Amino acid sequence: MHLKSLVLKGFKSFADRSALTLEPGITAVVGPNGSGKSNISDAVLWVLGERNAKHLRGQAMEDVIFAGSSARRAAGLAEVDLVLDNSDGTLPVDYDEVAITRRMYRSGESEYLINGTVARRMDVLDILHDSGLGTGTHSIISQGSLDSILQSKPEDRRALIEEAAGTLKHKQRKAKSERKLAQMDQHLARVRDVTAEVERQLKPLERKAKRARTYIGLSAELSDLKLKLAVDDLRQLQEKHAAATAREEAVAAELEAKRAEISAAEAAVETLQEKIRQEGASAGELTRQHRQASGAVERIESAELVMRERKRAATSRAGELSVSLEANAARTKTAQADLDAANAQLASVQAERAQAEEKVSRLAADHADVTSRRAETEKRATELGRASRDLESRINSARA
Ligand code: ATP
């Protein structure tokens, strides 16, 4: 690899495009003082990415742009093209020639190109890095400093020669590698510490994990059992609810039948009252007994009302039970108890009714008895009348 050409345009004293073609080997630039020799080496530094204006012998970076002269105006742009022969493949690109361009405008904008393609400064530095051409690795000995170099201490001179020979990059790499190694050692020590700590924690963690796995298994089993129980409870509640509904319907039917019986009993009582009224016998007694019977009927009716109310309450509770079957086992029991109580009440009402019916039949028997006694009395009265009339006629015949 060698520097093939350098083209300057608007760079420092090179207002016009100036192209330098270089051959392998030593190239010398000769000229009078102030003719711009150092500007050529500045151009090399600049195009390779120099950022420090002072290294380019200026105050600000804009100083690299041609500043104008009495004969011509200042340039608006400085541009340097540096072409490297890469036929030996030193640079890590697939080109035999690598052209690096740097441009800078008065506005301060700056750009790099690699083989005509816009690139970043970093790309330029990356390409050059491995070849020993990066900023700081090439060696430009400024005017006047050669003397001081020749007189410098052997160690300083050695550093300079090393830099020029390109060993600096290897030293830098070595230092970098050593830093990395030291870092790796630190990381390794940390990893060892962490590994030891993790290994120390591993046993209790394994125990915990085992316990956790057992817990998860048991939890799943528990959930399954709970679900089965809940399904079972639900089924039982549904059965109970169906049974309660059936019982309720049976009680309603029974109630209806009892109501019909009560109506029939009322009709019978009415008929008896009518008969008693017609026959006019034992009216006071019958009226009293009728009042008693009516009282019994009223009690039956009020008991029936209570029954109806309880039935309504039981029905509403059964409705509530159907809404929340899962949680109402207790309520169903209460409703069942109420239903049982209602059944007990019904039984007691039935008993009362049976008593009332018995009373009614006793009254009917009494009535029949009274009626027959009255007929007997009337018959005897008729017989007595006839006997008395017989007696009177016998007395009248005796008198005659
Ligand atoms: P010497 O051997 O005396 O150091 P030299 O040949 O190395 O001289 P340089 O120092 O490279 O010459 O060039 C200096 C010349 O470049 C000066 O005349 C200076 O005016 C001119 N110069 C530097 N910067 C600019 C610029 N931005 N615009 C115009 N001319 C410039």
Give the residue from 334, 289, 285, 293 showing the smallest Cα distance to 314: 334
The most confident of the ranges 154-168, 195-209, 285-299 is: 195-209
Q: Based on the number of CB atoms within 10 Å of its own CB, is 135 exposed (0-12), middle (13-18) or buried (19 or more)? A: middle
pLDDT confidence of 79, banded at 50, 70, 90?
very high
Over the stretch 232-261, which tens digit does the pLDDT of each residue have? 989 999 999 999 889 889 888 888 888 888
Point out the least confidently predicted range of 16-25, 145-154, 300-309: 145-154
Nearest residue (by CA) to ligand 1, atom 23, is 12
Distance of CA 293 to the CA centre of its chain: 74
Strands (E), the chain: 2-9, 18-21, 77-85, 97-105, 110-114, 117-119
- Using the atom order of ligand 1, give the atom closest to the CA of residue 13: 30
pLDDT confidence of 163, banded at 50, 70, 90?
low
Nearest residue (by CA) to ligand 1, atom 30, is 13
Nearest residue (by CA) to ligand 1, atom 24, is 12
Distance CA 303, CA 34 (A): 136
Tokens of residue 28, six digits: 């010398």
Burial readout 358-391 (b: 16 or more C-beta within 10 A, e: otherwise): eebeebeeebeebeeeeeeeeeeeeeeeeeeeee
Residue 61 is predicted with a pLDDT of 94
- Using the atom order of ligand 1, give the atom closest to the CA of residue 39: 11
- Higher pLDDT, residue 91 or 10: 10
Over the stretch 7-34, which tens digit does the pLDDT of each residue have? 999 999 999 999 999 998 888 889 999 9
> Is the separation of the CB atoms in 65 and 104 below 8 Å?
yes
Alpha helix ranges (H) inside 48-111: none
Per-residue pLDDT at 138 exceeds 70 = no
Percent of the chain with pLDDT over 90: 34
Per-residue pLDDT at 110 exceeds 60 = yes
- Using the atom order of ligand 1, give the atom closest to the CA of residue 35: 6
> Is the separation of the CB atoms in 48 and 121 below 8 Å?
no
User: How far, in Å, is the centroid of ligand 1 from the Cα of 14?
Assistant: 9
Per-residue pLDDT at 67 exceeds 70 = yes
Residue 130 is predicted with a pLDDT of 66
User: How far, in Å, is the centroid of ligand 1 from the Cα of 87?
Assistant: 34
User: How far, in Å, is the centroid of ligand 1 from the Cα of 69?
Assistant: 12
Per-residue pLDDT at 137 exceeds 60 = no
Per-residue pLDDT at 140 exceeds 70 = no
Point out the least confidently predicted range of 20-24, 44-48, 136-140, 376-380: 136-140
Protein residues with CB under 6 Å of any ligand 1 atom: 12-13, 31, 33-39, 63, 66-67, 143
Residue 10 is predicted with a pLDDT of 97
Name the residue of 6, 11, 13, 45 to mutate for ligand 1: max ligand atoms within 8 A of Cβ.
13
Residue 145 is predicted with a pLDDT of 63
- Using the atom order of ligand 1, give the atom closest to the CA of residue 32: 6
User: How far, in Å, is the centroid of ligand 1 from the Cα of 55?
Assistant: 14
- Higher pLDDT, residue 185 or 203: 185
Over the stretch 167-196, which tens digit does the pLDDT of each residue have? 766 777 788 899 999 999 999 999 999 998
User: How far, in Å, is the centroid of ligand 1 from the Cα of 63?
Assistant: 11
Name the residue of 35, 44, 70, 73 to mutate for ligand 1: max ligand atoms within 8 A of Cβ.
35
The most confident of the ranges 90-94, 95-99, 322-326, 355-359 is: 95-99
Per-residue pLDDT at 295 exceeds 90 = no
User: How far, in Å, is the centroid of ligand 1 from the Cα of 35?
Assistant: 6
Extents of the domains making up the chain = 2-135, 248-399
- Please state whether beta strands 97-105 and 110-114 pair in parallel, antiparallel, or not at all (unpaired): antiparallel
User: How far, in Å, is the centroid of ligand 1 from the Cα of 3?
Assistant: 23
Percent of the chain with pLDDT over 70: 90
- Higher pLDDT, residue 109 or 159: 109
Name the residue of 6, 8, 9, 12 to mutate for ligand 1: max ligand atoms within 8 A of Cβ.
12
Q: Please give the class, per CATH, of domain 248-399.
A: mainly alpha
Nearest residue (by CA) to ligand 1, atom 17, is 34
CATH no. for 2-135: 3.40.50.300
Over the stretch 255-283, which tens digit does the pLDDT of each residue have? 888 888 878 878 877 877 787 677 776 65
User: How far, in Å, is the centroid of ligand 1 from the Cα of 175?
Assistant: 39
